[in-house]
Amino acid sequence: MTNEGTKQTNGEEQKDIWTTIRQQYEQLRNVEEQQQQKSEQQPPAECSLIFCGSSNSGKSLLSSLFLSSFSSRHFSSSSSAVSSLSSSSTDQKTIALEFRFGQRIISEGNGKQLANVWELAGGGTMAPLVQVPLAMRNIHSTSLLLFVDLTRPELFQSVADSLLTVCRKRIERLKSGDEMAKLIGQIESQDKKAIRPLGIQLVIVCARYDEFQNANSEQKRQMYRLIRQFAHINGAAIITLSIRMDTLLTKARTFLYDLISGIPLQQFQKSLSTDPQHPLFVVPHGIDSFEDINPSLRSLGSFSEAMLNFLQSLNQTFAQQQQKVPDDEAENEAEESEEMKQQLAEPTIDALVEERMKQLELFAREKRDQKEAEKRAADRRN
């Protein structure tokens, strides 16, 4: 009896030990999972926002408002960027590609987050410059905000499509084929064969809504349909902005905070508004579909086919034009060039250069006259 009792006791103790180990393992695993989830939800230590797209669409104002409230202290790459935070910042035109950044404390342990903000001027005319902010070290925490002027549908292809084409080529060079394939595999849509994600978080910002809302119903309906189609096949969310409508401006700024919070765009609270009589919102990507946009699109079987269909529809609906540099900008550049010459003027050197140029012209004239004289003399001999 004693031996049997001892064996039973040892068996129970052994069972208790393994049970305890298993419980401790489960607890440890739960803690690790919680820590991982918490880490994933923490804002990244560094993030980048790229503002590009249509000119005069509110990029500068929105980025300045975001940075001014992002942190109490604002840091900048140049004095001109610092001044952009002033009340007159919206009157200053962006030149080429401008960079600013802000910093904030995000935890009690003095953890900090750095937000890099890039703004590209010129619509689609400077598209190659959008590659500059797209670097390997921060590609996974970069978001692209593509501004589209709702009042200028004829420039959609030269602005939006041009910029996105350059971005896509750059990102596909930075990311491996496996990464891109994984992104495509994560698409939860019945139209996934025709969808190709950009590789970073992409948001189309429908700008100048305050003017667009007064357009005729058919133009608004067609514009919304085309933007939804373009966004759907490129894996983009859609928001609407007007710098003259406080509600939309506040929504856009709040959206930017969510964008850098560390929460994936696909997990954002759903917002679907496609009525042409109201601002357009499709957040996140995937809650829209070809079925709802235009049932005839359901037959599209690849991204290239979908893009070709979109460009054909776009040109049939709104004849596309090439974006040109406005005359006032060209005049400004000429004035700036003349002002630069005056600032860099060196009277002594300039006088010497002018004298040398006159001597060169005189020498060239003498040589020319000499050759002509020799030619006439040769003709007389013959």
How far is Cα 248 from Cα 264, in angstroms, rounded to an integer? Answer: 22
Which of 282, 209, 289 lies closest to 243, judged by CA?
A: 209
Residue 121 burial (CB count, 10 A): 19
Residue 83: the pLDDT is 38
Average pLDDT, the chain: 82
Q: 171: pLDDT confidence band, cut at 50, 70 and 90?
A: very high
Residue 249: the pLDDT is 92
Q: Between vectors from CA 266 to CA 265 and to CA 269, what angle results, nearest 5°?
A: 85
Residue 159: the pLDDT is 94
Question: At residue 88, does pLDDT exceed 60?
Answer: no
- Residue 272 corresponds to which tokens in the numbers above? 């679907």
Sign of the Cα torsion 175, 266, 250, 244 reads positive
Question: At residue 85, does pLDDT exceed 50?
Answer: no
Residue 273: the pLDDT is 96
Sign of the Cα torsion 303, 306, 312, 318 reads negative
Summarize pLDDT for 335-359 with one digit per residue, the tens: 544 554 555 566 776 776 677 677 7
* Percent of the chain scoring above 90 in pLDDT: 46
- Residues paired with residue 202 on neighbouring β-strands, in sequence order: 144
Summarize pLDDT for 271-315 with one digit per residue, the tens: 999 999 999 999 999 999 999 999 999 889 899 999 999 999 999
Pairing of strands 112-120, 142-149: unpaired
Q: Which one-letter amino acid corresponds to residue 317?
A: T
- Residue 148 corresponds to which tokens in the numbers above? 């589209």
Q: Between vectors from CA 40 to CA 34 and to CA 44, what angle results, nearest 5°?
A: 140
CB 318, CB 153: distance < 8 Å: yes
Give the max Cα distance, the chain.
Answer: 146
- The secondary structure of the chain, three-state, reads CHHHHHHHHHHHHHHHHHHHHHHHHHHHHHHHHHHHHHHHHCCCCEEEEEEEECCCCCHHHHHHHHHHHHCCCEEECCHHHHHCCCCCHHHCCCCCEEEEEEEEECCCCCCEEEEEEEEECCCCCCHHHHHCCCCHHHHHHEEEEEEEECCCHHHHHHHHHHHHHHHHHHHHHHCCHHHHHHHHHCCCCCCHHHCCCCCCEEEEEEECHHHHCCCCHHHHHHHHHHHHHHHHHCCCEEEECCCCCHHHHHHHHHHHHHHCCCCCHHHCCCEEECCCCCCCEEECCCCCCHHHHCHHHHHCCCHHHHHHHHHHHHHHHCCCCCCCCCHHHHHHHHHHHHHHHHHCCCHHHHHHHHHHHHHHHHHHHHHHHHHHHHHHHHHHHC
Pairing of strands 46-53, 142-149: parallel
The mean per-residue pLDDT over the stretch 185-196 comes to: 87
How far is Cα 213 from Cα 276, in angstroms, rounded to an integer? Answer: 8
CB 124, CB 162: distance < 8 Å: yes
Q: What is the pTM of this model?
A: 0.71
Which of 203, 210, 187 lies closest to 238, judged by CA?
A: 203
Q: Tokens 């959609």 belong to which residue? A: 156
CB contact set of 364 (below 8 Å; sequence gap of 6+): none
Q: What is the CATH number of domain 42-317?
A: 3.40.50.300
CB 168, CB 111: distance < 8 Å: no
CB 309, CB 318: distance < 8 Å: no
Summarize pLDDT for 119-137 with one digit per residue, the tens: 999 888 889 999 999 988 8
- Residues paired with residue 112 on neighbouring β-strands, in sequence order: 105
The mean per-residue pLDDT over the stretch 88-115 comes to: 76
User: Which residue has better confidence, 102 or 212?
Assistant: 212
User: Which residue has better confidence, 196 or 8?
Assistant: 196
CA 316 vs. chain centroid, Å, equals: 27
